[in-house]
Structure 1
Amino acid sequence: MTAPTAFHRYLDALARGDMDALRATLADDVVWHQPGAHSLAGDHRGPDAVLRLLGAFMERSGGTFALAPTGPAMDNGDLVALPVRFSAQAASRTDLAMSGVDLFRIAEDRIAEVWLFSEDQPAEDAFWG
């Protein structure tokens, strides 16, 4: 399987909200590098930690967190980059809406590592607290 094919399995599972299928796309030793200086920032290691992080985004945004590709996925060997737009709302905070780039490293047909880049990291930090 190519890196883009493995990556698209992840995107499809995410779009369907299928957590079992999503977990299957993650390597046992996956590392998700969540940028910033907020309470969810840091390195999240293993599928359980990554799924907890994604769940926290939904919980803290009252289920409004959304991520949408804004262009095609681009691959270079085992790396896949995706331009995205993400948003979330919370009653007690200014809405979050910005562009970013998500970079994935694929190994043995699964996501091994993820780096995220946000258009306005201070605004994202303020939103997630």
Structure 2
Amino acid sequence: MTHHEHPDAALIRRGYEAFGKGDMEALGATMTSDCTHHAPGSTRFGGHFKGRDNVLTMFGEMFEYTAGTMRVELGGVYPDGRGHVISTHKFYAEHGDRGIEMNGAMFFTIIGGKVSDVDECVEDITELDAFYSQA
């Protein structure tokens, strides 16, 4: 059987690849200028980040907070063919003497071949907040 990847799924894979390399320019190219990222939790990394520049700044701050240890293993990418994609992943990071390993998922809305909205979900919001609340 031949596998033909939907263009929306390919877009999300490119975004994950760019994030994994810390290539914010390539990641930004996958987003609309007014892209919004809705992140879980109540720390500075949780909330609603409106605009590509704000989303990319938040990601950059996450890389700084984790001293570059953050990495994401993509599980699956599931397009609906109508401008939505769900992805699953596991992410890992360290800060100080504490680490985190957690499953997560994202729900993407795609308009004109670019991500316009991202809803992020995680396995344990309380644990996520505890990790990102360290000094």
Tell me whether the two structures share a fold, i.e. TM-score over 0.5: yes
Contact 1:81–1:102, Cα closer than 8 Å, also in 2:
yes
Which runs of 5 or more structure 1 residues have no equivalent in the other structure?
none
Q: Is the 8 A contact 1:27 1:110 kept in 2?
A: yes
Question: What root-mean-square deviation, in Å, do the aligned CA atoms of Structure 1 and Structure 2 show?
Answer: 1.5
Determine which of 83, 107, 114 is the counterpart of 1:110: 114
Compared CA separation, residues 47 and 107, structure 1 to 2 (3 A): same
1:65-118 Cα offsets, whole Å, 9 max, x none, are 111112x200112111111101111115x3111101111111100010001111
Q: Which runs of 5+ in 2 are unaligned?
A: 1-5
Which residue number corresponds to residue 31 of structure 2? 26
SS in 1 for 2:25: helix
CA separation in 1, counterparts of 2:77 and 2:87?
5
Contact 1:6/1:106, CA 8 A, preserved across alignment: no
The residue number in structure 1 matching 2:3 is none
Contact 2:20 2:71 in 1 (8 A): no
Indicate yes or no: 2:58 matched with 1:53: yes
Question: What is the aligned-residue identity percentage?
Answer: 28
Whole-angstrom distance in 2 between the partners of 1:22 and 1:108 = 16
- Name the TM-score, length of structure 2 as normaliser: 0.87
In structure 2, C-alpha distance between the alignment counterparts of 1:25 and 1:34, rounded to whole Å = 18
Q: Give the 4+ runs in structure 1 shifted more than 6 A.
A: none
Of stretches 5-14 and 19-28 in structure 1, the one that deviates more from structure 2 is 5-14
How high is the TM-score relative to the length of structure 1?
0.90
Q: Return the match for 1:5 from 10, 30, 37.
A: 10
Kindly indicate whether residue 42 of structure 2 is the aligned counterpart of residue 37 of structure 1. yes
| Residues matched between the structures, number | 127
